[in-house]
Amino acid sequence: MNRRVRPFLTARPTIGVLALQGDVAEHLHVLEQMDVRTAKVLGPDQLDTVDALVIPGGESTTMSKLAVRYGLLEPLRKRVGAGMPAYGTCAGMIMLADRLLGGIDGQETIGGIDMTVRRNAFGRQTESFEAAVPVEGVGEEPFDAVFIRAPWVESVGPEVTVLGRVPGPDEAGRIVAVRQGGLMATSFHPELTGDARIHRLFVDIVKGHA
């Protein structure tokens, strides 16, 4: 695994949640139970003050449009490119993908993870589902994963570690959790279920412990 993340000097890093749209409060709520400071990130100034970033679930096309319109996309690319740890759920996974399928014309992503993500791959809302997904690095117990109009990862580059796949009889199952150095993404929403293991793993990554 690529471990370029530098340990931070601060014992209590500030983890921001990108607040352009989506379930921001749920991520803040999980992070507030950990030994970190939290902040909402609405603009470039706030982005400068955080050590790491969570990109929440929501509507990825809206999030992307607003990031461009409010001048956040380039600052986000710069920070992620410079090694800021980031974790994206659902729409956040799309934002961290180097390549996107099923997006709208001109949909921009921040990028950072060498993967191809297919938007809404599991279908519309009536096809949204819950499933038990084993996730590497957070213990034996499978994760009770909630998928909402969710994307999947169609392919990954050599630097990317696959942490989880949807169970099922077909093929080997679709990839729904990945890590590349300090960057992590899941198709599903740990912030909705009260299981904090993936957020804890991210905090460990931010602190240079994982």
For residues 44 and 79, is the Cβ–Cβ distance under 8 A? no
DSSP string spanning 117-173? Answer: EETTTT-SGGG-EEEEE-BTTS-SSPEEEEESS--EEEEE-TTPEEEEE--SSSTT-
Q: What are the residues facing 118 on neighbouring strands?
A: 101, 152
Q: Does 16 bind another protein (CB under 8 A)?
A: no
Q: Considering only the stretches 74-82, 126-134, 155-163, 201-209, report the one whose residues sit in contact with another protein under the rule CB under 8 A.
A: 126-134
Q: Does 132 bind another protein (CB under 8 A)?
A: yes
Please give the Cα distance from 177 to 165 (Å, whole number).
7
Q: Which is nearer to another protein, 142 or 208 (CB)?
A: 142
Spell out, one character per residue from 82 to 121, where the chain touches another protein: x when CB under 8 A holds, - when not.
--------xx----------xxx-------------x-xx
Answer yes or no: 199 catalytic: no
Q: Which is nearer to another protein, 66 or 210 (CB)?
A: 66
For residues 85 and 117, is the Cβ–Cβ distance under 8 A? no
Answer yes or no: 189 catalytic: yes
Answer yes or no: 191 catalytic: yes
Please give the Cα distance from 193 to 196 (Å, whole number).
8
Residues at the site binding another protein, with contacts judged by CB under 8 A? 19-26, 42, 57-59, 61-62, 65-66, 69, 90-91, 102-104, 118, 120-132, 146-149, 166-171, 173-174, 189, 192-193
Residues known to be catalytic:
90, 189, 191
